[in-house]
Structure 1
């Protein structure tokens, strides 16, 4: 089972590479990973190894539209159990909520699902540390279009697709999504409310009832192994962009009282303020590495009341102003 520092490379990846006509052996060699990796079933990798695999896949294929090719060849047979089970849902909206719940069983990236009368948006939050390879981020977004089409048997197109490192416009990519990938503050894909509610022809609640107890059991085991500090960091990743950084807001999300939350953190030799500061620092380094984000926007994403408060905090962490850090090596993960 994957920890917050690791991803699970699903056995279905081997079938996916076969369908893409890409040599698994060549990709593993290029990524400096064991040649017999896929013979081991589900393989847990460090984040660095997982990212290296995707970078090697990108280099081996040498195809700027590889994410689209991945989306086109995806099938239910290549899905792992949580996603296969989500295909049993009534519609894309329900499937997205279920996948977001069980995504930690697949890897430590988190999904934020926003659904209202205007549409359904899936936003990907990556773990602290190195920036994910562009191919991995693009493939994650292509997956959602593929899932909608497999479930509905219709050519469902997103209304908006955005990436923090958007690729050069491509006719193939635009054709696949039905819209071009735009530069954005996060990797996210949006579907219209109508498309998000289209019935899945794969709906099978009896199959979901079969899968769900085991998925919940595995998720409970994973969450039980997570520290309180891990859970606070995960909640902060979700709440900071919404402008919420108070212990009251985070404790409420974790269904704890602020006093209980502080007591649990103290038992782990830390405090809420220490976890908040550490999370903000790591996110600040990641955001500032993206030169398209103005400093004022970074301050906003970290839930600071004003830019000056962010400047003071960043100087306290690094001894540098944010602009100076952008031109130095101080943006490597802390």
Structure 2
């Protein structure tokens, strides 16, 4: 697995006084800072996590784990916050974790509760405190940001001791245990996520934001459909019936109104997926992340769609426009 350490994260480390060159040296990771981004193997990533654990204080981790303080576009957070509720957000978060790194998110749904835990992909490698606390706080921040409320978990368990500021953030005492665990009341995860609470919108590529602004000024029915698709596609719920429900009409009325404007739902969907794809490519997002963000479960299917849109393969497009991953 290729794991990327983005420029934004490197800049964050610098902002809190962490010397990235020394960090890489101590983690026995080749100095590749001359690249646009640093790509690591799974073992290099694990060693880096261990060194970060020694460099970052809990105060640093608290700041790093607040969605509102992350000044960049993060696909995992965008997709999670585009979800209709916390339960779907957790599923999106777990899916993206598998794409971007070797940390697995286990979700266990019971009758009235939902439990979330984290582990390194390889069982013989234990997650350090930095990783456990960061994942627990990020998960909680996603839920709270989505619903716009200070949701409290029912249980927080960790093999590590946390300081008073961290305990205050969780809102309850942390149980000491061999593993890590967050337990939520299922009713809290069924609360509706508000679209305007997705703060990742402001960090989208400029041209995409301009297009979204243009849609808001248009009075056509198709513009309303497109506007809904932009937030629905990352959530995974973007069938015609899903969009019809969001607009308060029947699926039949949706199709009839689009036909009156000489278009169809399929045309509008593909138009939005195409616009999103080219904007994400300009943002240098990895192919698998783009594929998921525009609603394709299989990268191969996304590749075929892209060739129809661009008249060339993704590889050819990246080479022609010098997009580097």
Q: Which whole-Å deviations, capped at 9, do the CAs of 1:264-315 have from their partners, x for residues lacking one?
A: xxxxxxxxxxxxxxxxxxxxxxxxxxxxxxxxxxxxxxxxxxxxxxxxxxxx
C-alpha contact (below 8 Å) 2:155/2:183 kept by paired residues: yes
Query: For structure 1, which segment, 47-56 or 209-218, has the greater mean C-alpha deviation from structure 2 after superposition?
Result: 209-218
Equivalent in the alignment of 1:59: 54
Cα distance in 1 between the residues matched to 2:44 and 2:230 = 34
Q: Distance in 2 between matches of 1:28 and 1:146?
A: 29
Deviation at 1:123, TM superposition (A): 1.9
Determine whether 1:112 maps to 2:189.
no
TM-score by length of 1: 0.54
Alpha-carbon shift at residue 110 of structure 1 (Å): 2.2
Moved more, 207-216 or 166-175: 207-216
Q: In the TM superposition, what are the counterparts of 1:161-240 in structure 2 within 5 Å? A: 161-163=156-158, 166-202=159-195, 206-211=229-234, 214-215=291-292, 220-221=298-299
Runs of 4+ in 1 over 6 A off after TM superposition: none
In structure 2, the CA distance between the partners of 1:99 and 1:119, relative to structure 1 (3 Å rule), is same
SS of residue in 1 equivalent to 2:66:
helix
> Match of 2:139?
144
Separation of aligned partners in 2, 1:126 and 1:65: 23
Q: In structure 1, which of residues 121, 133, 138 is the aligned counterpart of residue 128 of structure 2?
A: 133
From 58, 63, 67, the counterpart of 1:69: 63
- Alpha-carbon deviation of 1:196? 1.3
Gap change, CA 1:56 and 1:78, over 3 Å in 2: farther
Structure 2 SS opposite 1:40: coil
* Separation of aligned partners in 1, 2:22 and 2:153: 34
Unaligned runs of 5+ in 1: 223-334
Assess if the C-alpha contact under 8 Å between 2:62 and 2:137 holds in 1: yes
2: CA distance between counterparts of 1:121 and 1:206?
31
Q: Is the 8 A contact 2:62 2:134 kept in 1?
A: yes
1:40 CA displacement: 2.6
Shift of 1:147: 1.2
- State the alpha-carbon separation in 1 of the partners of residues 113 and 144 from structure 2: 17
Q: CA deviation at 1:174?
A: 0.6
Q: CA deviation at 1:96?
A: 0.6
Q: Which runs of 5+ in 2 are unaligned?
A: 199-227, 237-272, 274-290, 301-325
Partner Cα distance (1:19, 1:94) in 2: 33
C-alpha RMSD of the superposition: 3.1
